[in-house]
Chain A
Amino acid sequence: MIIEIMKKFLKILKMFIGPIIILVLLELFSPFLLHKVPLYLHGNLDSGLLALAQTSKRSLIPEDYILLLGNSNAVGLGEWLNNSRNDRRNLWPDFHTAHILNNKPDIDVISLGGAGKASLINLVFSPITQFQYINSFLTFNLKMPKRIIVIFDEGNDVSRNIKELEKLYYENFDKNRIYDTEYFRKFLDTVFQDKNPYKTPQPYFKYFMFSRFIFKGIKGLFYESKYDANWRKLVEEQKLHKLNLSQVDRYPRGHFLNIALVDNEKWVFSNKNVKPPIELANNEIRLGLYVFEQSLLYASSFFKDSKIDLVYLPSVTSSYNLLLPEESGLSGIANFRLDQSYLTKIKESEIFLVKEIESIAKKHGFGFIDVRNDVKKASKSLIIHGILDQNHFNKKGYHVFAESIIEQAEGF
């Protein structure tokens, strides 16, 4: 009886021996082929290893490399990525700052930024957990970066830090001790322990890289990806377009807020575009900046031998030459929410933030790069943000941004 069962088992095993061998080989080799995975398939990879799949470096594991930290601007969201993702003609396309920097000889770049998140996550949580996760694989040994470029996003970082604190801090930590740096560091440590997505009860599953890739891919066939869903939400109504005064009465109330002069033409930007945190009170702005500073220090103590440069990235709203109502030709038209003090507030907030970020950089011995001049100079004659996704650079914008960094950063 047992012999019969054994025979049957061996027969079945023999039938499936080919697929088993193929799967084993694929599992063994797939870790070394991560950087050869086409961009359009990146969404199916283990998110903790996406950094290795990036093509802004010459090899799977670069020796000396620059680490790019920040929010969605650091990972390269925007129309350039969206077009590249849908372009099957080039499977490993360039699409953001990291690639432009990498096109300079001998520069490898890895981006460990996090889209849609605050400094707490982008600077502390995401890069450190991903770095540790990568090195938890026996096959990978990613060294510390020689240099870190941290992008401070004027439009998002402060306000998102405040929101993130509400989610993570106020419930379990003492509000009155928030400015106690030792205490705040303990909070950051705790966040680390509790929220690390790469700590799973079955850590050996992570080694089945290929099977997980296939499984995630099949699962994805039945659901729309978060990325695609977000992109779909960018409605046509907000599309960047030239101002047509004869059609202003067709717009909903309050539509015009951001009208900018680009190459002597008036362009209507979306009201929903990010801007300096003018809606926040001064104490909130200070708190947001404090969180940024502490997060940065936490990251710098982890990546302790790396040289850090802080890059000030202006929001889309402050990047362009915005027009006053009388300049745009809309001052006599009723029903539109046009406030003369709006532009002044934006300008003041921008100047305040630049000074603060520069002083943080100086205080801790970090480099400081202000790309505002180059961005604003370019935006006088070019649209450097997306037509639909106006909160991120387009291809030209990423070039302006990256080239400004190359020009200003020491030792490039």
Chain B
Amino acid sequence: MEAYKGLTKERNFINYSLFISFFPQLIAGPIVHHKQIIPQFVDNIKPRICIESIKSGIGIFIFGLFKKIVIADSFGSWADIGFQNVSSVNTLEAWLAVMSFTLQIYFDFSGYVDMAIGSALLLNIRLPINFDSPYASTNIREFWRKWHITLGNFFKENVYIPLGGNRQGGLNECRNLLFTFGLVGLWHGANWTFVAWGGVHGLAVVFCLFWDKLNFKLHALVSWFLTFIFICVSWVFFKSSDLNASMEMIRHLTNVEGLNILTWNVFTESEVSRFCLMVLPCIALSVLGKNTNDYIDKFSFDHKNITLIFLAILALIIFSIGGSIPVSFIYSAF
């Protein structure tokens, strides 16, 4: 795309090969421009071995691994059970499955990106950040500025702006947004569920545009809650095998009468208690916790970080020693 636009300056085959085969971001991103990476390969002033970068790299890598193995894989197993038994789940179980997937996909993907950023830092190469507490967003436009930032930028630069962006305003802007989000959905796979996921997000962004024009402000906590619930429910399309399954899951989620039923059809009591134990701390971590960009430059092995790393390593050991069942990264499929 950049070569087509005439923006490409790099002609060195080795640098280009290194860029496309740069292992830390090879599997699942973040999506990088060559202009962000190749200059770092050829920068002779920048030391190849930098102790500060190695320290940050180790810390960020361990936190990423913790997010993946301890948090994402735990929620992932419950999300799979719920979505695989969509016809049998009751309302509470449907919420359990959807919340599980919401947390799984964030911790899985942001965990991977942290590991990519961390391992690149060991080589004193800086990858762009990809998440900035997206679940703390108070509207869906903000969410897309903070979720999978590199993908958002890619579509903004290569689809939304070429289509006209917001220059013509009104219906044209809405059309551009809906088309771009439809493509964002399709980028994840050739399935109507992804198109639907992109579509509902597109509609939500358009809704936000009109809402802004009303000049009516909701309390920040209410905005956050509504946005978070919307994000959770929209993941149903992303996770489901087909649109019928998505609609069935949404029916279960919205069956208010089912909230009185406190029996478990598909989950074991052990799973429910583990979920209850983990869900609030993990939501808090995703909303209030620091992001990679908060400590990438100022990471130090002080007593606080050493304690956190120690806790993360302990948890990783405990999760690994029983022979944990390997779960692949969600975004490695896209």
> Is A15 a contact partner of B270 (Cβ separation < 8 A)?
no
Interface pair B271/A89, CB less than 8 Å apart: yes
Given the known interface contacts A16-B306, A22-B311, the answer about A41 and B301 at a Cβ–Cβ threshold of 8 Å is no
Of the candidates B268, B270, B302, B321, the one whose C-beta lies within 8 Å of that of A221 is B321
Contacts A16-B303, A22-B307, A22-B311 given; indicate if A89 touches B270 (C-beta within 8 A).
Answer: yes
**In A20-49, which residues have CB < 8 Å from any B CB?**
22, 38, 40-41, 44
Of all chain B residues, which has the CB nearest A87?
A: B268
Residues of B within 8 A of A19 (CB): 306-307, 310
A18 near B314 with CB under 8 A, answer: no
Q: How far, in angstroms, from A214 to B321 measured CA to CA in the complex?
A: 8
Q: Please name all residues of chain B whose beta carbon is closer than 8 Å to the beta carbon of A40 when the two chains form the complex.
A: 322-323
Q: A62–B271 Cα gap in the complex (Å)?
A: 26
Residues on the A chain within 8 Å of B81, using CB: 89
Give Cα distance in the complex from A249 to B306, angstroms. 67
For window 298-334 of B, CB contacts with A under 8 Å fall at 301-304, 306-307, 310-311, 314, 317-318, 320-323, 325
Residue A253 CB within 8 A of the other chain = no
| Chain A 179-219: CB-based contact to B (< 8 A → 1; otherwise 0) | 00000000000000000000000000000000000100110
Q: Which chain B residues border A363 with CB–CB below 8 Å?
A: none
Instruction: Give Cα A218–Cα B319 distance, bound, in whole angstroms.
Output: 11
Q: Which of A15, A214, A221 contacts B301 (CB 8 A)?
A: A15
Contact check, B322 vs A38: say whether CB atoms are below 8 A apart.
yes
Contact with B along A61-84 (1 / 0, CB 8 A): 000000000000000000000000
Contact B301 A22 (CB under 8 A): no
* Residue pair A44, B321 in contact (C-beta under 8 Å): yes
Q: Please tell me which one of the listed residues B77, B303, B314 contacts residue A17 in the complex, with CB atoms under 8 A apart.
A: B303
- Chain A nearest CB from B78 CB (Å) reads 9
* Contact partners of B318 in chain A: CB under 8 A: 41, 214, 217
| Interface flag for A232 (CB, 8 Å) | no
> Is A90 engaged at the interface, CB distance under 8 Å to the other chain?
yes
How would you classify the secondary structure of chain A's contact residues: helix, strand, loop or mixed?
helix
Q: How far is the CA of A19 from the CA of B312 in the complex (A)?
A: 11
Tell me the minimal C-beta distance from B116 to chain A in angstroms. 24
Contact of B77 among A15, A88, A220 (CB under 8 A): A88
Number of B interface residues, CB 8 Å?
Answer: 22
Interface: A104 (CB within 8 A): no
Is the CB–CB distance between B304 and A18 below 8 Å? yes
Is B317 a contact partner of A18 (Cβ separation < 8 A)?
no
Q: Is the CB of A218 within 8 A of B317?
A: yes
Docked CA distance A92–B273 (Å): 12
Complex Cα spacing A173 to B253, Å: 74
Q: Does A14 contact B (CB under 8 A)?
A: yes
Shortest CB-to-CB span from B93 to chain A, Å, is 13
B306 neighbours in A (Cβ, 8 Å): 15-16, 18-19
Q: How far is the CA of A91 from the CA of B318 in the complex (A)?
A: 14
Chain B nearest CB, measured from A355 CB (Å): 46
Docked CA distance A22–B77 (Å): 29
C-alpha gap A283/B320 in the complex (Å): 51
Using A89-B270, A90-B268, A91-B270 as known contacts, say yes or no to A18 and B321 having CB atoms under 8 A apart: no
Q: Taking CB as reference atom, which chain B residue is nearest A40?
A: B322
CA distance A221 to B316 in the complex (A): 13
The interface residues of chain B lying within 8 Å CB-to-CB of A16 are 303, 306
Q: Which residues on A sit within 8 Å (CB–CB) of B303?
A: 14-18
Task: Report chain A residues within 8 Å CB of B301.
Answer: 15
Contact with A along B268-305 (1 / 0, CB 8 A): 10110010000000000000000000000000011110
Give A69 Cβ to nearest chain B Cβ, in Å.
28
In the complex, what's the smallest C-beta–C-beta distance from B281 to chain A, in angstroms?
17
CB distance from A227 to the nearest CB of B (A): 11
**Besides A16-B303, A89-B268, 17 new A-B residue pairs in contact (Cβ under 8 A), listed by A number:** A15-B303, A15-B306, A18-B304, A18-B306, A18-B310, A19-B306, A19-B307, A19-B310, A22-B311, A22-B314, A88-B325, A90-B268, A91-B274, A214-B314, A214-B317, A217-B320, A221-B320
Q: Which 4 A-B pairs have the closest CB atoms?
A: A18-B307, A217-B321, A19-B310, A40-B322
